[in-house]
Structure 1
Amino acid sequence: MKKIFAFLFLIVLSTSVFAADETANHLENITQFTSLIRWGGVFFSFVVIFASWVLLRFTNKLVETFSSQFVQYRMVLQKLQSFFQFLVYMTAGIVVFMMSFRINDQILTLIGGTLAVSIGFALKDLAASFIAGLTVMIDRPFQVGDRVTFEGNYGDIITIGLRSVRMRTLTDDIITIPNNKFLSEVTMSGNYGALDMQCVIPFYIGMDQDINLARDLIQEAASSSRYIHLPKPVVVLVSQEIADNYLAIKLTCKAYVVDTVYEKLFETDITLRVMKEFRRHNINPPMIAVRSTMQ
């Protein structure tokens, strides 16, 4: 029994000594850290932060006022404002750090390690986009000027860079897409380096209408359009389709526009011509669709 008590006493004693050592180490670390802080500079750091906040607020108000009065310079002012904000943030951060800490080897080591980790995480996606950019340039799934569909976005490729690809949509929006997205997503190119591109335009008529006449009218309207690329054929496909519980004849016009820039004008021109000829020849759409629209 005495041996057991002696053994337990030794365990408690060693645990106490270990805990005391840990506490001493923590206290030593805290002491070393607090010795690096300039407590007088901490107060002035808050003053610098407050002054930076006031300066940025004043700059925002100034830019808003000038932007409303000189609209033509609004974009330039906003760019200058963004650059100025970044400059203020960087300057205030450096000043606060220099005023609050005593610079020595420990601080430099800490800064170097933090920057290395931060830059590594920041450059991870950049490196992936860079490698993907080289892959896109070598494999060439699309080219500058191609009209492509990517993740629901449809438009023209205007630039292919090492980090990203820029697309201009048909609504004149500029979309920036990281290159690494193209490694895992499907991209559809409508023309792939050519000026001309196939356009698919559907038309619907009733089951009891003159199908052959309707097909001829569509083919004639497409062939006589000012935007047609005649070296390639005009094809009109006929099929039955069930839509909203009614049968209809679907006539799909496949024709090539002379330039992708005129795609929507080409579709509009053909649609207007076909609808005009359908009315002149009494070719009607599906009756149920007309009744539901009238109701």
Structure 2
Amino acid sequence: AQAQATETGAEDAPPTEISEIGRLISVGKILYAILILIVTYFLNKFVGLVIDNLAERATNYRLFIKRLGPASRILIWSLSIYIIIAGVIAPPMQTVIAIGASIGIAVGFASQDILKNIFGGIMIILDSPFQVGDKIAVGDHYGEVTSIGLRSSRIVTPDDSVVSIPNAELMNHAVSNSNSGALNCQVVAEIYLPATVDIPAVKRLAKDAVYASSYLFLNKPVEVIVLNELKDRNYVVKLRVKAYVLDIRYEFLFKSDMTEMILEECNRRGYLEGEVMPIPSQL
């Protein structure tokens, strides 16, 4: 009788966690979840292409439209994961808590760096130290932000190289932002001239050259700063010409345009043939 009671109690015992998982996750549910993930992946690609095409067509709102990309990716993936858990697997709340705690502990120990990058990506999107389309400098890298993902962010350098930077590194290092969401940004061109050059004339020449450029953003001021420096053991005049480009995409074209026009006009007027002033030798 005691053995029969034991067998009856074993039959009435609640299912174990393993048997519960086996009941919840079947082959059909796994295939359905994989199908949802595949559809989500291609949907993200499609939405990204639509956003990029709209951004290129609407020039004045290009940066604003591109910034919708990171938020849309997170929203689509979050919705997909919710559908898989709540609609496909549909586990009881107790099972969700138990399995979630176990998986959370295991994943936490196994992928600390990945989680740091994911949280870093979420914080970048929420805090917005930079956004898609901004020109940023991080360490030795400078370029335009093309995407902000959950694991890393990508920038395109002036040499047209794509650099992927982990989000955790971006959160732990200083990031310099050239335009902070604006379509225009400041461009600085440096010109070295002989120390005997006519400084007032050169400053007027530099401003005239900048205003002649088709890349200039006219709503912000143009400044010409004169410095005296040593270069190759000679005194020289260093012009720092500061102006704003109308679109960050033309940053280096504008810088080249300013430098070329200023040097061409200085050469035409003979300013580049001034007398060199060497450093006096010590007695």
Bin the TM-score by the shorter chain: 0.5 to 0.7
Supply the distance in 1 between the matched residues of 2:204 and 2:154 (Cα, whole angstroms).
Answer: 41
Return 5+ residue gaps in structure 2 as ranges. 1-102, 279-283
User: Which of the numbers 223, 226, 233 marks the counterpart of 1:235?
Assistant: 223
User: Which of the numbers 141, 157, 174 marks the counterpart of 2:129?
Assistant: 141
Supply the distance in 2 between the matched residues of 1:289 and 1:162 (Cα, whole angstroms).
Answer: 56
User: Which of the numbers 225, 229, 249 marks the counterpart of 1:261?
Assistant: 249
Deviations 1:70-113 (A, max 9, x none): xxxxxxxxxxxxxxxxxxxxxxxxxxxxxxxxxxxxxxxxxxxx
Deviation at 1:186, TM superposition (A): 1.0
Q: Does 2:222 correspond to 1:213?
A: no
* Equivalent residue number for residue 203 of structure 1: 191
Contact 2:195 2:276 in 1 (8 A): no
Deviation at 1:277, TM superposition (A): 0.6
Supply the distance in 1 between the matched residues of 2:164 and 2:193 (Cα, whole angstroms).
Answer: 41
Q: Percent identity?
A: 35
Deviation at 1:243, TM superposition (A): 2.3
Q: Given the superposition, is the C-alpha separation of residues 258 and 118 from structure 1 closer, same or farther in structure 2, using an over 3 Å criterion?
A: same
Supply the distance in 2 between the matched residues of 1:287 and 1:117 (Cα, whole angstroms).
Answer: 73
Supply the distance in 2 between the matched residues of 1:289 and 1:229 (Cα, whole angstroms).
Answer: 37
Supply the distance in 2 between the matched residues of 1:152 and 1:266 (Cα, whole angstroms).
Answer: 22
Contact 2:192 2:236 in 1 (8 A): yes
Deviation at 1:182, TM superposition (A): 1.4
Deviation at 1:196, TM superposition (A): 0.5
User: Which of the numbers 169, 174, 178 marks the counterpart of 2:166?
Assistant: 178
* Equivalent residue number for residue 226 of structure 1: 214
Deviations 1:217-268 (A, max 9, x none): 1110001100000010110011111223211111110000011111111111
Q: Which runs of 4+ in 1 moved over 2 A?
A: 115-122, 285-290
Supply the distance in 1 between the matched residues of 2:184 and 2:104 (Cα, whole angstroms).
Answer: 50
* Equivalent residue number for residue 238 of structure 2: 250
User: Which of the numbers 117, 122, 130 marks the counterpart of 2:118?
Assistant: 130
Deviation at 1:141, TM superposition (A): 0.9
Contact 2:225 2:241 in 1 (8 A): yes
Supply the distance in 1 between the matched residues of 2:110 and 2:185 (Cα, whole angstroms).
Answer: 40
Contact 1:219 1:234 in 2 (8 A): yes
Output the TM-score relative to the length of structure 2. 0.58
Q: Given the superposition, is the C-alpha separation of residues 247 and 123 from structure 1 closer, same or farther in structure 2, using an over 3 Å criterion?
A: same
Supply the distance in 2 between the matched residues of 1:285 and 1:220 (Cα, whole angstroms).
Answer: 21
Q: Given the superposition, is the C-alpha separation of residues 159 and 289 from structure 1 closer, same or farther in structure 2, using an over 3 Å criterion?
A: farther
Output the TM-score relative to the length of structure 1. 0.56
Aligned letter for 1:236? Answer: V
* Equivalent residue number for residue 168 of structure 1: 156
Supply the distance in 2 between the matched residues of 1:264 and 1:176 (Cα, whole angstroms).
Answer: 22
- Higher helix content, 1 or 2: 1
Deviation at 1:288, TM superposition (A): 4.8
Supply the distance in 1 between the matched residues of 2:161 and 2:267 (Cα, whole angstroms).
Answer: 37
Deviations 1:133-171 (A, max 9, x none): 122112111110001111111111011112111111121
Larger relative CO (CA 8 A, sep 6+): 1 or 2? 2
Deviation at 1:172, TM superposition (A): 1.5
Deviations 1:42-91 (A, max 9, x none): xxxxxxxxxxxxxxxxxxxxxxxxxxxxxxxxxxxxxxxxxxxxxxxxxx
Contact 1:248 1:286 in 2 (8 A): no
Q: Given the superposition, is the C-alpha separation of residues 133 and 285 from structure 1 closer, same or farther in structure 2, using an over 3 Å criterion?
A: farther
Aligned letter for 1:264? Answer: F
RMSD, matched Cα: 2.3
Deviations 1:11-53 (A, max 9, x none): xxxxxxxxxxxxxxxxxxxxxxxxxxxxxxxxxxxxxxxxxxx
Q: Partner of 1:284: helix, strand, or coil? A: helix
Q: Partner of 1:252: helix, strand, or coil? A: strand
Q: Please tell me whether Structure 1 or Structure 2 has the larger radius of gyration of its CA atoms.
A: 1
Supply the distance in 1 between the matched residues of 2:274 and 2:125 (Cα, whole angstroms).
Answer: 49
Q: Does 2:262 correspond to 1:274?
A: yes
Supply the distance in 1 between the matched residues of 2:197 and 2:117 (Cα, whole angstroms).
Answer: 55
Q: Given the superposition, is the C-alpha separation of residues 116 and 212 from structure 1 closer, same or farther in structure 2, using an over 3 Å criterion?
A: closer
* Equivalent residue number for residue 147 of structure 2: 159
Supply the distance in 2 between the matched residues of 1:123 and 1:286 (Cα, whole angstroms).
Answer: 64
